[in-house]
Protein backbone atom coordinates (compact mmCIF):
# COMPACT_ATOMS: atom_id res chain seq x y z
CA UNK A 1 0.00 0.00 0.00
CA UNK A 2 1.35 3.41 -0.98
CA UNK A 3 1.93 5.92 1.85
CA UNK A 4 -0.49 8.34 0.19
CA UNK A 5 -3.25 5.70 0.19
CA UNK A 6 -2.67 4.91 3.85
CA UNK A 7 -2.69 8.59 4.80
CA UNK A 8 -5.88 9.20 2.84
CA UNK A 9 -7.83 6.43 4.57
CA UNK A 10 -6.30 7.21 7.99
CA UNK A 11 -7.26 10.90 7.71
CA UNK A 12 -10.74 10.02 6.55
CA UNK A 13 -11.33 7.49 9.37
CA UNK A 14 -10.15 9.99 11.98
CA UNK A 15 -12.52 12.65 10.67
CA UNK A 16 -15.41 10.20 10.43
CA UNK A 17 -15.00 8.15 13.61
CA UNK A 18 -12.15 9.57 15.68
CA UNK A 19 -10.07 6.43 15.09
CA UNK A 20 -6.38 7.36 15.24
CA UNK A 21 -4.78 4.85 12.86
CA UNK A 22 -0.96 4.80 12.91
CA UNK A 23 1.30 3.17 10.34
CA UNK A 24 2.02 0.23 12.64
CA UNK A 25 -1.67 -0.70 12.25
CA UNK A 26 -1.57 -1.15 8.47
CA UNK A 27 -2.27 -4.85 9.05
CA UNK A 28 -5.71 -3.86 10.38
CA UNK A 29 -6.56 -2.27 7.04
CA UNK A 30 -5.69 -5.47 5.23
CA UNK A 31 -7.47 -7.85 7.62
CA UNK A 32 -10.65 -5.81 8.11
CA UNK A 33 -11.08 -4.16 4.72
CA UNK A 34 -10.27 -7.01 2.34
CA UNK A 35 -13.77 -8.54 2.77
CA UNK A 36 -15.27 -5.09 2.07
CA UNK A 37 -13.06 -4.74 -0.99
CA UNK A 38 -14.17 -8.11 -2.40
CA UNK A 39 -17.79 -7.25 -1.67
CA UNK A 40 -17.41 -4.32 -4.06
CA UNK A 41 -15.50 -6.14 -6.80
CA UNK A 42 -12.03 -5.00 -5.74
CA UNK A 43 -9.16 -7.48 -5.56
CA UNK A 44 -7.19 -5.53 -2.93
CA UNK A 45 -7.53 -2.87 -0.25
CA UNK A 46 -5.55 -0.52 -2.49
CA UNK A 47 -8.20 -0.94 -5.18
CA UNK A 48 -10.91 -0.28 -2.60
CA UNK A 49 -9.20 2.96 -1.54
CA UNK A 50 -9.02 3.98 -5.21
CA UNK A 51 -12.76 3.32 -5.49
CA UNK A 52 -13.41 5.50 -2.45
CA UNK A 53 -11.17 8.27 -3.78
CA UNK A 54 -12.92 8.36 -7.14
CA UNK A 55 -16.56 7.83 -6.18
CA UNK A 56 -16.93 8.91 -2.52
CA UNK A 57 -19.76 6.37 -2.42
CA UNK A 58 -21.49 6.82 0.95
CA UNK A 59 -22.49 3.14 1.25
CA UNK A 60 -18.88 2.03 0.75
CA UNK A 61 -17.61 4.67 3.17
CA UNK A 62 -20.09 3.48 5.79
CA UNK A 63 -19.00 -0.16 5.35
CA UNK A 64 -15.35 0.85 5.74
CA UNK A 65 -16.10 2.79 8.92
CA UNK A 66 -18.09 -0.08 10.43
CA UNK A 67 -15.41 -2.63 9.54
CA UNK A 68 -12.67 -0.54 11.16
CA UNK A 69 -14.57 0.44 14.30
CA UNK A 70 -16.37 -2.80 15.19
CA UNK A 71 -14.57 -4.12 18.27
CA UNK A 72 -14.75 -7.23 20.41
CA UNK A 73 -17.47 -7.33 23.02
CA UNK A 74 -18.36 -9.80 25.75
CA UNK A 75 -20.79 -10.06 28.64
CA UNK A 76 -19.80 -8.50 31.99
CA UNK A 77 -16.40 -7.49 30.63
CA UNK A 78 -14.16 -6.53 33.57
CA UNK A 79 -16.99 -7.25 35.98
CA UNK A 80 -16.17 -4.61 38.64
CA UNK A 81 -18.28 -1.76 37.15
CA UNK A 82 -21.34 -4.01 37.05
CA UNK A 83 -20.71 -5.16 40.62
CA UNK A 84 -20.26 -1.56 41.78
CA UNK A 85 -23.50 -0.58 40.06
CA UNK A 86 -25.41 -3.29 41.91
CA UNK A 87 -23.68 -3.15 45.27
CA UNK A 88 -22.99 0.56 45.72
CA UNK A 89 -24.61 2.95 43.23
CA UNK A 90 -28.16 1.59 43.26
CA UNK A 91 -28.34 1.22 47.06
CA UNK A 92 -27.01 4.79 47.43
CA UNK A 93 -29.69 6.11 45.08
CA UNK A 94 -32.37 4.30 47.05
CA UNK A 95 -31.05 5.51 50.41
CA UNK A 96 -30.86 9.12 49.23
CA UNK A 97 -34.61 9.19 48.51
CA UNK A 98 -36.40 11.76 46.40
CA UNK A 99 -36.17 9.74 43.18
CA UNK A 100 -37.37 6.49 41.66
CA UNK A 101 -35.62 6.26 38.27
CA UNK A 102 -32.17 5.86 36.73
CA UNK A 103 -30.94 6.65 33.21
CA UNK A 104 -27.91 4.77 31.89
CA UNK A 105 -26.10 5.19 28.57
CA UNK A 106 -24.00 2.46 26.97
CA UNK A 107 -21.90 4.35 24.41
CA UNK A 108 -20.22 2.42 21.58
CA UNK A 109 -22.31 -0.60 22.57
CA UNK A 110 -21.27 -2.83 19.64
CA UNK A 111 -23.37 -6.01 19.41
CA UNK A 112 -25.18 -5.45 22.72
CA UNK A 113 -23.34 -7.48 25.34
CA UNK A 114 -22.68 -4.40 27.50
CA UNK A 115 -26.22 -2.93 27.61
CA UNK A 116 -27.70 -6.37 28.20
CA UNK A 117 -25.19 -6.94 31.01
CA UNK A 118 -26.39 -3.65 32.52
CA UNK A 119 -30.01 -4.75 32.12
CA UNK A 120 -29.32 -8.08 33.84
CA UNK A 121 -27.53 -6.28 36.68
CA UNK A 122 -30.55 -4.04 37.20
CA UNK A 123 -32.95 -6.97 37.09
CA UNK A 124 -30.92 -8.82 39.71
CA UNK A 125 -31.57 -5.90 42.08
CA UNK A 126 -35.22 -5.33 41.10
CA UNK A 127 -36.64 -6.92 44.25
CA UNK A 128 -34.62 -4.48 46.39
CA UNK A 129 -35.75 -1.46 44.32
CA UNK A 130 -39.58 -1.68 44.27
CA UNK A 131 -41.24 0.99 42.14
CA UNK A 132 -37.93 1.95 40.53
CA UNK A 133 -37.77 2.48 36.76
CA UNK A 134 -34.80 2.31 34.45
CA UNK A 135 -33.95 3.60 31.00
CA UNK A 136 -30.97 2.16 29.16
CA UNK A 137 -29.90 3.94 25.97
CA UNK A 138 -27.34 2.11 23.82
CA UNK A 139 -25.58 3.75 20.89
CA UNK A 140 -23.04 2.93 18.21
CA UNK A 141 -22.03 4.48 14.91
CA UNK A 142 -22.40 1.17 13.04
CA UNK A 143 -25.94 0.33 11.92
CA UNK A 144 -25.03 -3.31 11.33
CA UNK A 145 -24.08 -3.97 14.94
CA UNK A 146 -27.09 -2.02 16.22
CA UNK A 147 -29.42 -4.20 14.17
CA UNK A 148 -27.81 -7.31 15.60
CA UNK A 149 -27.91 -5.93 19.15
CA UNK A 150 -31.65 -5.26 18.88
CA UNK A 151 -32.25 -8.92 17.98
CA UNK A 152 -30.32 -10.03 21.06
CA UNK A 153 -29.25 -13.30 19.44
CA UNK A 154 -25.86 -14.75 20.39
CA UNK A 155 -23.93 -17.91 19.60
CA UNK A 156 -22.96 -20.56 22.12
CA UNK A 157 -19.40 -19.21 22.00
CA UNK A 158 -20.58 -15.66 22.78
CA UNK A 159 -22.77 -16.57 25.74
CA UNK A 160 -19.94 -18.60 27.24
CA UNK A 161 -17.75 -15.50 27.39
CA UNK A 162 -18.33 -13.80 30.73
CA UNK A 163 -21.98 -14.79 31.23
CA UNK A 164 -22.72 -16.82 34.40
CA UNK A 165 -24.68 -19.99 33.64
CA UNK A 166 -27.42 -18.95 36.07
CA UNK A 167 -28.04 -15.76 34.08
CA UNK A 168 -27.99 -17.64 30.79
CA UNK A 169 -30.77 -19.90 32.02
CA UNK A 170 -32.71 -17.06 33.62
CA UNK A 171 -32.56 -14.40 30.91
CA UNK A 172 -32.07 -16.26 27.61
CA UNK A 173 -34.18 -18.55 25.46
CA UNK A 174 -32.42 -21.31 23.53
CA UNK A 175 -32.84 -21.31 19.75
CA UNK A 176 -31.94 -23.94 17.14
CA UNK A 177 -28.32 -24.36 16.02
CA UNK A 178 -26.90 -23.58 19.49
CA UNK A 179 -28.05 -19.97 19.41
CA UNK A 180 -29.49 -18.01 22.34
CA UNK A 181 -31.77 -14.97 22.47
CA UNK A 182 -32.23 -12.46 25.27
CA UNK A 183 -35.81 -12.75 26.50
CA UNK A 184 -38.15 -10.00 25.37
CA UNK A 185 -38.64 -8.22 28.75
CA UNK A 186 -34.89 -7.64 28.97
CA UNK A 187 -34.61 -6.56 25.33
CA UNK A 188 -37.39 -4.05 26.00
CA UNK A 189 -35.25 -2.38 28.66
CA UNK A 190 -32.76 -1.17 26.05
CA UNK A 191 -33.36 1.37 23.29
CA UNK A 192 -30.78 1.45 20.49
CA UNK A 193 -29.81 4.53 18.49
CA UNK A 194 -27.12 5.44 15.99
CA UNK A 195 -24.73 8.01 17.44
CA UNK A 196 -21.21 9.15 16.56
CA UNK A 197 -19.29 10.29 19.65
CA UNK A 198 -17.63 13.01 17.58
CA UNK A 199 -21.00 14.63 16.91
CA UNK A 200 -23.35 16.36 19.34
CA UNK A 201 -25.35 13.96 21.47
CA UNK A 202 -27.21 16.58 23.49
CA UNK A 203 -30.46 15.15 22.08
CA UNK A 204 -29.92 12.03 24.22
CA UNK A 205 -30.48 14.08 27.38
CA UNK A 206 -28.81 13.69 30.77
CA UNK A 207 -27.76 10.44 32.43
CA UNK A 208 -26.96 9.16 35.90
CA UNK A 209 -24.35 6.73 34.57
CA UNK A 210 -22.47 6.52 31.27
CA UNK A 211 -20.55 3.42 30.19
CA UNK A 212 -17.97 4.41 27.56
CA UNK A 213 -15.51 1.59 27.95
CA UNK A 214 -12.45 0.73 25.85
CA UNK A 215 -13.31 3.47 23.36
CA UNK A 216 -11.03 6.40 24.22
CA UNK A 217 -7.93 4.25 23.60
CA UNK A 218 -8.61 4.53 19.85
CA UNK A 219 -8.62 8.36 19.87
CA UNK A 220 -5.72 10.81 19.87
CA UNK A 221 -5.32 13.12 22.87
CA UNK A 222 -7.28 16.15 21.56
CA UNK A 223 -10.18 13.90 20.51
CA UNK A 224 -10.17 12.15 23.90
CA UNK A 225 -10.40 15.50 25.68
CA UNK A 226 -13.25 16.62 23.41
CA UNK A 227 -15.26 13.43 23.93
CA UNK A 228 -14.69 13.37 27.71
CA UNK A 229 -15.89 16.96 28.01
CA UNK A 230 -19.02 16.12 26.02
CA UNK A 231 -19.66 13.06 28.18
CA UNK A 232 -19.32 15.20 31.32
CA UNK A 233 -21.92 17.58 29.92
CA UNK A 234 -24.29 14.63 29.49
CA UNK A 235 -24.10 13.57 33.13
CA UNK A 236 -26.36 14.74 35.93
CA UNK A 237 -24.57 16.26 38.96
CA UNK A 238 -22.68 13.50 40.76
CA UNK A 239 -23.14 11.13 37.82
CA UNK A 240 -20.74 8.31 37.03
CA UNK A 241 -18.56 7.66 33.98
CA UNK A 242 -17.30 4.09 33.52
CA UNK A 243 -14.26 3.68 31.30
CA UNK A 244 -12.24 0.54 30.60
CA UNK A 245 -10.26 -0.73 33.58
CA UNK A 246 -6.97 0.37 31.97
CA UNK A 247 -8.24 3.78 30.83
CA UNK A 248 -7.64 6.95 32.81
CA UNK A 249 -8.76 10.58 32.82
CA UNK A 250 -5.45 11.74 34.28
CA UNK A 251 -4.32 14.98 32.54
CA UNK A 252 -7.45 15.00 30.37
CA UNK A 253 -9.96 16.78 32.58
CA UNK A 254 -10.47 18.17 36.07
CA UNK A 255 -14.21 17.57 36.06
CA UNK A 256 -14.16 14.10 37.64
CA UNK A 257 -12.95 12.36 40.77
CA UNK A 258 -11.71 8.78 40.51
CA UNK A 259 -13.71 6.15 42.40
CA UNK A 260 -10.89 4.38 44.20
CA UNK A 261 -12.86 1.17 44.81
CA UNK A 262 -13.33 0.54 41.07
CA UNK A 263 -10.63 1.13 38.45
CA UNK A 264 -11.81 3.07 35.42
CA UNK A 265 -14.82 4.53 37.26
CA UNK A 266 -15.14 8.29 37.75
CA UNK A 267 -17.69 10.60 39.37
CA UNK A 268 -18.58 14.05 38.10
CA UNK A 269 -17.63 16.75 40.59
Residues in the chain: 269
Residue-level pLDDT at 196: 92
Beta-strand relationship, 190-194 and 179-182: unpaired
Residue-level pLDDT at 6: 83
User: Which of 69, 90, 119 is the last residue before a domain boundary?
Assistant: 69
Is there a domain that residue 37 lies in?
yes
Together in a domain, 65 and 85: no
- In this predicted model, what pLDDT tens digit does every residue of 42-84 receive, in sequence order? 888 888 888 888 888 888 888 888 888 766 789 999 999 999 9
Count of the separate structural domains present in the chain: 2
Among the listed residues 47, 18, 24, the one whose alpha carbon sits nearest the alpha carbon of residue 34 = 47
Is there a domain that residue 124 lies in?
yes
How many separate helices (H) and strands (E) can be counted in the chain? 12, 10
Residue-level pLDDT at 25: 73
Together in a domain, 125 and 241: yes
Among the listed residues 107, 102, 18, the one whose alpha carbon sits nearest the alpha carbon of residue 68 = 18
Is there a domain that residue 189 lies in?
yes
Together in a domain, 91 and 133: yes
User: Which of 16, 43, 69 is the last residue before a domain boundary?
Assistant: 69
Residue-level pLDDT at 154: 96
Together in a domain, 122 and 16: no
Contact 227, 197 (CB under 8 A): yes
Together in a domain, 129 and 237: yes
CATH code where residue 133 lies: 3.40.50.150
Contact 162, 74 (CB under 8 A): yes
Together in a domain, 62 and 87: no
b/e map 34-65, b = 16+ CB within 10 Å: bebbeebebeebbebbebbeeeeeeebeebbb
Q: Give the pLDDT band (50/70/90) at residue 185.
A: very high
What is the C-alpha separation between 269 and 262, in angstroms, rounded? 17
DSSP 8-class letter at 72: -
Together in a domain, 58 and 145: no
Is there a domain that residue 22 lies in?
yes
CATH code where residue 30 lies: 1.10.155.10
Q: Which domain holds residue 39?
A: 3-69
Together in a domain, 131 and 241: yes
Is there a domain that residue 99 lies in?
yes
Contact 144, 62 (CB under 8 A): no
Together in a domain, 98 and 120: yes
CA-angle at 236, arms to 201 and 226, nearest 5°: 45
Together in a domain, 104 and 135: yes
- In this predicted model, what pLDDT tens digit does every residue of 106-154 receive, in sequence order? 999 999 999 999 999 999 999 999 999 999 999 998 888 999 999 999 9
Is there a domain that residue 74 lies in?
no
Which has the higher per-residue pLDDT, 54 or 102? 102
What is the C-alpha separation between 197 and 184, in angstroms, rounded? 28
What is the C-alpha separation between 206 and 3, in angstroms, rounded? 43
CA-angle at 224, arms to 235 and 92, nearest 5°: 30
Is there a domain that residue 135 lies in?
yes
Together in a domain, 12 and 98: no
Residue-level pLDDT at 13: 85
Is there a domain that residue 251 lies in?
yes
User: Which of 46, 69, 92 is the last residue before a domain boundary?
Assistant: 69
Average pLDDT over residues 12-22: 81
Together in a domain, 43 and 99: no
Amino acid sequence: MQPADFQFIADWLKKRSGLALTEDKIYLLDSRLLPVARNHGCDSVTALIHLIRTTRNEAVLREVTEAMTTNESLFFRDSKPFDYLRQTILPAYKAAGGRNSTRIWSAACSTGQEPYSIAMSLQEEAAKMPGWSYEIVATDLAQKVLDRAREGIFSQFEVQRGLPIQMLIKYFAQLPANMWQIKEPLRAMVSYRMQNLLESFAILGKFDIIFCRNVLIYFDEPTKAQVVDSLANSLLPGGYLALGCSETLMDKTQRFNAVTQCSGLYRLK
